[in-house]
Amino acid sequence: MITINAKTKDLKALNLALKESVNGTPVTVKNAAQLHGIGAGLKHGEVIIESSVGDYVGVLNAGATIRVKKDAGKYVADNMTAGTVIIEGNADYGTGQYCYGGTVVVHGNAGDFTATMNKGATIMVTGDVGDEAGTYMLKGDLIIVGNAGRNFANYLIRGNVYIGGQWQSIGHNTKIEPLTDEDEAKLRAYFETYQIEADPTIFKKIVAASEKPFYN
Amino acid sequence: MAVIGAFCVSVNKELCINANMPGKCATCAEVCPHGVYTLDKFSGEMEVQNFNACVGCRICAEFCPANAIRINPAEPEFVTRYPWTFSTVEEIHHKAQTGEYLLRGFGTHGQTPNFDMITVVPSQIASAAPLDKYREECDMQVVIGEDTCENPVVLKAPFVWPAMSFGALSKEAKMALAIGAAMTGIATNTGEGGLVPEEAWLARGYTSKEMTDKQWEPGGYLIIQWSTGRWGVSADYLNSGDAVEVKIGQGAKPGMGGHLLGAKVTEDVSRVRGVPVGSDALSPCRYYDVQTLDDMKHMVAFLRDVTNYQFPIFFKLGPSRPYADVAACIEAGADAISIDGMVGGTGCSPDIVTQGVGIPTIACIPPAVQALKDYGVHHKVKLIALGGIRNGLDAFKAMAMGADAAGFGSAAEIAMGCRVCYACQKGNCPYGITSQKPEMRARLDPIETGKRLANFIHACTEEVKILTMLSGHRATKELSPEDLRAMDVNTAALTGLKLCGYDRALPFWEALQPAQAGGNGHK
């Protein structure tokens, strides 16, 4: 195990150290709360961050596994294309935006605009999410174990949104469909993999009403 | 305001093939983007059914095999009936019938403040003597990112192709722009629709992915656009070019994101963008992942990091508040800032936005330059003027006003063959420039069209050289507003240029000199 103390490092120095270090051996990072963009564009390896982190952790992640032991700032795993980002605390505004692939797991609450413009990732939040979660989602799965705020799944175009709790209001271009056996099996598999305590059978599924809701 | 109306369509029935042999020819009906002509399925006769839809592009006249069509403007309409011209009447009828607002491709039309009321001041006896264009050299090179990255962009001429996305343009048009850039040493730009793989090697002058066979000298550059829709974006995408451009806005629709209507979202476009075939790809109007200027600074930091500090970072602005917006880009860490005036082009936009929103290009440049000066980075952070730049004369004027380079977007489309029909959004471009249909795309040969684009750049480069040297300068970086005069009060008022005859700036501009007023009073 390699340990890096980020207290006196800037983003360039830390990310360079990560790129050079992630060759089969997990890297532990301490004191990284002040940095934004940790692990940007990593293609492989495992990074464990023991502190809280700033914004844009795991941005453009292209295959690495990044685990944050405490809370994360805004824009977790922004524009990720592959890999896994796990937040063991809460995540702020805009978790999992613009992702093309990979998995984001927040073992806590996530803020507004979670999974906005998701284009293929699996994004799971074990707690609640704020307003506008799943806005203009184009592909992938968004799974909320708790509750959602206003305008949930607004202008959904494609992909699946699952929720175990309630929403304050649902967005445009959405419809509720019954959970299929495949959906249940998928959710169960996710919950087992990421050790999430939830009963798939109580989840509701939201899909797009139309793939072309803007201009006829 | 509307595109529709304002032209008279005349068909010479003696020449028209269809008039003489119904069913034999319907070329005009096939190529017209606006449905001016219709073919009667039963009689085979072609009719001019919708006169008021003509926008004067004359594509029908160009394609007519019998040379039977004449299109004449009906400008008196705007004098005698304004404001209730036929085009306005038709627009209102359209809205009343459909409940839909108009969309438009290409850009603004009609009169807006422009470069034409600015004249170039040549050298005579009282200033530095003019230089000889034919026998002396002129330095037009522009270096971007000299002090901030490992691999600066070095433009051989002070021009770029601005961002035009795959989806808005065909793959062949994107390839032609890349080849044109390679042949002239300028930069092309992916736009926000992801990467056409060929762009990456064609722009550098190579004919294949291996980049071992350089075909086109001196080779150009590829700017990778990072935008609000983030279509086709990954770490590899960002590293496939020579620079990254952060798009904030564009001239044709500032405050709105990109529009790609479902008609142009083919399987290829769908694959790159990750949207369903046939669905509208509408980019957000803002970055969902930026809420503050600090966020933008962090974004620039991670973009530099992901690209290993190799490439310069560009920003692209729409025409809003040029001084404050340019200042924000400088603070965010820009190496170059493109500012796109209201006449800037688009593949699709709401008509009212393209026609009625934003600041003209000539009014964007002076405040942008002032911001750069106030931050002490004029000509260090490069300013690129976009929006209705038509030739070397416009580009020269933009550079004399303080820009370092200029971009040709709409002019590039015209150089490729476009006739400005304002219907790019429909996907039926008969020249294959803005269409995704295979039969239209087949009409555009990327290499031949790339040569046309290179010819256009060569001609404009010579124009800039002529003007630079007759003004007594050996380099475009020596140009200044003293090389220009405004020819009317309005232009002098918008630009701060000296007014012909009066030979000084208008009093309120003189009162705003930086030493006296802290730079436009903003900073």
Question: Helix/strand/coil (H, E, C) string of B442-470?
Answer: CCCCHHHHHHHHHHHHHHHHHHHHHHHHH
Q: Do A59 and B280 touch (CB under 8 A)?
A: no
Query: Could you give the CA distance from residue A60 to residue A76 in angstroms, rounded to a whole number?
Result: 10
Please name which of B448, B405, B479, B459 lies closest in space to residue B184, comparing C-alpha atoms: B459
Packing angle between helix B293-306 and helix A11-21, nearest 10 degrees?
Answer: 40
Q: Which of B100, B288, B291 to mutate to test the interface with A (most CBs of A within 10 A)?
A: B288
Q: Which of A138, A155, A156, A158 to mutate to test the interface with B (most CBs of B within 10 A)?
A: A138
Contacts with B262 from chain A: Cβ below 8 Å: 212, 215
Q: Which residue of B has its CA nearest to A74?
A: B289
Tally Cβ neighbours within 10 Å of residue B517: 11
Q: Do A117 and B306 touch (CB under 8 A)?
A: no
pLDDT (tens, 9 = 90+) of chain B, 523 residues, equals: 344 557 889 999 999 999 999 989 999 999 999 999 999 988 999 999 887 788 899 999 999 999 999 998 876 677 778 888 877 888 899 899 999 999 989 998 888 999 999 999 999 998 889 999 999 999 999 999 999 999 999 999 999 999 999 999 999 999 999 999 999 999 999 999 999 999 999 999 999 999 999 999 999 999 999 999 999 999 999 999 999 999 999 999 999 998 899 889 999 999 888 788 988 889 999 999 999 999 999 999 999 999 999 999 999 999 999 999 999 999 999 999 999 999 999 999 999 999 999 999 999 999 999 999 999 999 999 999 999 999 999 999 999 999 999 999 999 999 999 999 999 999 999 999 999 999 999 999 999 999 999 999 999 999 999 999 999 999 999 999 999 999 999 999 999 999 999 999 999 998 876 544 444 444 4
Task: Please tell me the pTM assigned to this model.
Answer: 0.94
Q: Do A214 and B280 touch (CB under 8 A)?
A: yes
Q: Do A56 and B298 touch (CB under 8 A)?
A: yes
A62 Cβ under 8 Å from any chain B Cβ: yes
SS3 B143: strand
Q: Do B280 and A93 touch (CB under 8 A)?
A: no
Query: Could you give the CA distance from residue B193 to residue B174 in angstroms, rounded to a whole number?
Result: 11
Is the separation of the CB atoms in B129 and B123 below 8 Å?
yes
pLDDT (tens, 9 = 90+) of chain A, 216 residues, equals: 899 999 999 999 999 999 988 777 899 999 999 999 999 999 999 999 999 999 999 999 999 999 999 999 999 999 999 999 999 999 999 999 999 999 999 999 999 999 999 999 999 999 999 999 999 999 999 999 999 999 999 999 999 999 999 999 999 999 999 999 999 999 999 999 999 999 999 999 999 999 888 886
Q: Do A100 and B295 touch (CB under 8 A)?
A: no
**Looking at B123-233, which runs of residues are DSSP E strands?**
142-144, 153-155, 159-160, 187-189, 221-226
Q: Do B305 and A116 touch (CB under 8 A)?
A: no
Query: Could you give the CA distance from residue B369 to residue B393 in angstroms, rounded to a whole number?
Result: 19
- pLDDT value of residue B2: 42
Of the partner residues A62, A74, A94, the one whose CB lies closest to the CB of residue B234: A62
Of the partner residues A40, A43, A113, the one whose CB lies closest to the CB of residue B302: A40
ipTM of the complex: 0.97
Query: Could you give the CA distance from residue A20 to residue A32 in angstroms, rounded to a whole number?
Result: 18
Residues 141-160, chain A: which have Cβ within 8 Å of B?
157-158
- pLDDT value of residue B406: 98
Residue B491 structure tokens: 């232009």
- pLDDT value of residue A212: 84
**Looking at B191-343, which runs of residues are DSSP E strands?**
221-226, 243-247, 259-260, 281-282, 313-317, 336-340
Tally Cβ neighbours within 10 Å of residue A215: 15
Q: What are phi and psi of A175, to 5 degrees?
A: -145, 150
Residues 91-150, chain A: which have Cβ within 8 Å of B?
93-94, 97-98, 100, 113, 116-117, 119-120, 135-136, 138-139
- pLDDT value of residue B75: 67
Contacts with A120 from chain B: Cβ below 8 Å: 274
Query: B376 to each of A3, A14, B99, B145, B330, how far by Cα in Å?
Result: 42, 31, 51, 16, 10
Query: Could you give the CA distance from residue A206 to residue A136 in angstroms, rounded to a whole number?
Result: 13
- pLDDT value of residue B1: 38
In the A/B pair of chains, how many CB contacts fall below 8 A?
98
B275 Cβ under 8 Å from any chain A Cβ: yes
- pLDDT value of residue B520: 46
Q: Do B284 and A214 touch (CB under 8 A)?
A: no
User: What would you report as the CA-atom Rg of chain B, rounded to the nearest whole angstrom?
Assistant: 24
Is the separation of the CB atoms in B52 and B5 below 8 Å?
yes
Residue B223 structure tokens: 């700017």
Packing angle between helix B361-374 and helix B322-332, nearest 10 degrees?
Answer: 50
A31 burial class (0-12, 13-18, 19+ CB within 10 angstroms)?
middle
| A96-124 per-position pLDDT tens digit | 999 999 999 999 999 999 999 999 999 99
Q: Do A212 and B236 touch (CB under 8 A)?
A: no
Query: Could you give the CA distance from residue B394 to residue B481 in angstroms, rounded to a whole number?
Result: 14
Contacts with A79 from chain B: Cβ below 8 Å: 230, 233-234, 289
Q: Which residue of A has its CA nearest to B298?
A: A36
Of the partner residues A37, A81, A98, the one whose CB lies closest to the CB of residue B305: A37
Q: At a CB cut-off of 8 Å and minimum separation 6, what does B228 contact?
A: B192, B247, B257, B258, B283, B284, B285, B286, B287, B288
A36 Cβ under 8 Å from any chain B Cβ: yes
A51 Cβ under 8 Å from any chain B Cβ: no
On the question of a cis peptide bond just before residue B83, with omega within 30 degrees of 0, the verdict is yes
SS3 A6: coil
Q: Do A138 and B274 touch (CB under 8 A)?
A: yes
Minimal C-alpha gap between B158 and chain A (Å):
32
Q: At a CB cut-off of 8 Å and minimum separation 6, what does B85 contact?
A: B5, B6, B77, B78
Please name which of B409, B479, B460, B492 lies closest in space to residue B108, comparing C-alpha atoms: B409
Of the partner residues A60, A74, A119, the one whose CB lies closest to the CB of residue B235: A60
Q: Which residue of B has its CA nearest to A12?
A: B305
Q: Do A37 and B288 touch (CB under 8 A)?
A: no
Query: Could you give the CA distance from residue A125 to residue A115 in angstroms, rounded to a whole number?
Result: 10
- pLDDT value of residue B119: 98
The H or E element containing residue B93 is helix B86-98
Total length of chain A = 216
Q: Which of A117, A132, A156 to mutate to test the interface with B (most CBs of B within 10 A)?
A: A117
A48 Cβ under 8 Å from any chain B Cβ: no
Query: Could you give the CA distance from residue A121 to residue A190 in angstroms, rounded to a whole number?
Result: 13
Which one-letter amino acid corresponds to residue B420?
A: V
Q: Which residue of A has its CA nearest to B425?
A: A215
B229 Cβ under 8 Å from any chain A Cβ: yes
Query: B71 to each of A83, B10, B56, B64, B390, how far by Cα in Å?
Result: 59, 6, 6, 12, 23
Is the separation of the CB atoms in B117 and B494 below 8 Å?
no
What domains, with CATH codes, occur in chain B? 7-100 (3.30.70.20), 115-478 (3.20.20.70), 485-517 (no CATH)
Q: Which residue of B has its CA nearest to A137?
A: B275
